[in-house]
Structure 1
């Protein structure tokens, strides 16, 4: 059985159709095994024999839209991809804390169509693009009340086939997949 994490875009826990129990029910209805959710932000881990990830993404997204009215995007990464990202330790020496909020933005497409700029704003430091995981790695300074423009820049530049998670969330997802 293959182990996967579905990273769902646009999940709002306040929406009754986006609650973890309903998300799990959709995945279980698709015949996936060991379905579990993590946090309330659209992280679903599961196991299945399928290996065609784009087909899995489409199948899951169609079911979420049909059954729960969730139009957002579905991005899947395998356990092996996420484990390898953690093992590469791209944030070496940095801690996820106030002033250094470590984030990973996953792309559905194999390669982003535009290179990130050197500077999006003074609150965001781009570590780089991690090709094997198809993700931008960034450090966001959230020690001030000022808001970064990074998320808006990502959406404007790359569209909706992306989703961002904190480094801590990625660590929790991998731990859940290992259980």
Structure 2
């Protein structure tokens, strides 16, 4: 059984789309997923998945969330191996960053078309740096994510794909949780 990480977009933000993590776990378990674990309130779920195509899995999760919660929730899914690769491919030298500089990763629902990639290149600026790698955008925020141009909405508009962002500590924690789940199996 593959170990997967579901990244839910826009839940429990500013009092919108509220869901308790025990309810979220129960929804995932109702889909037949096993060893379901959540991490913080922003919608991170690590679980053992049934064997099926990723697109089918995402559709099942999104449909059940809509059914149970009464609103749409976009889900971006990665396997443990894909998430480990995200960590390994980090283009920034973390030890050299200043205390004010933080790394974030925006996870995309697919790979953007070349035209969209080229369009995004025109938005380079001096406040933030970013690197697009297949289905992720690594963002180096020099003045905080709240002041970054590269919000989920901005990336979705420019790339034509769903996006959800996590800070570097959360990405690393999700990898550790997935590896822990693998060691139990």
**Shorter-chain TM-score: which interval?**
0.7 to 0.9
> Where do 1:27-176 residues align within 5 Å?
27-94=28-95, 98-112=99-113, 114-115=116-117, 116-126=120-130, 128-131=131-134, 134-142=135-143, 147-151=147-151, 152-159=153-160, 161-176=162-177
| Cα drift, residue 85 of structure 1 | 1.9
| 2:6 corresponding residue in structure 1 | 6
| Superposed CA offset, 1:3-39 (max 9, x none) | 0000000111645841111111100111100100011
**C-alpha RMSD over aligned residues:** 2.4
Q: Which residue of 2 aligns with 1:23?
A: 24
For 2:97 and 2:169, the matched residues in 1 are separated by 7
CA–CA separation in structure 1 for the residues paired with 2:53 and 2:75: 14
Between the aligned partners of 1:136 and 1:30, the Cα distance in structure 2 is 30
Tell me whether 58-67 or 115-124 shows the greater mean CA deviation. 115-124
Which residue of 1 is the match for residue 183 of structure 2? none
Q: Deviations over 1:114-171 (max 9, x none)?
A: 1222545432111x1112xx10111012269x82222142233235611111111110
Contact (CA 8 Å) 1:129, 1:135: kept in 2 or not?
yes
- Give the count of matched residue pairs: 175
Structure 2 CA distance for aligned equivalents of residues 88 and 121 of structure 1:
22
> Scaled by the length of structure 2, what TM-score is found?
0.83
Structure 1: any 5+ residue segments left out of the alignment? none
Q: TM-score scaled to structure 1, two decimals? A: 0.86
Contact 1:3 1:45 in 2 (8 A): yes
CA contact (8 A) 1:94 1:100 kept: no
User: Aligned to 2:38, what secondary structure does the other structure show?
Assistant: strand
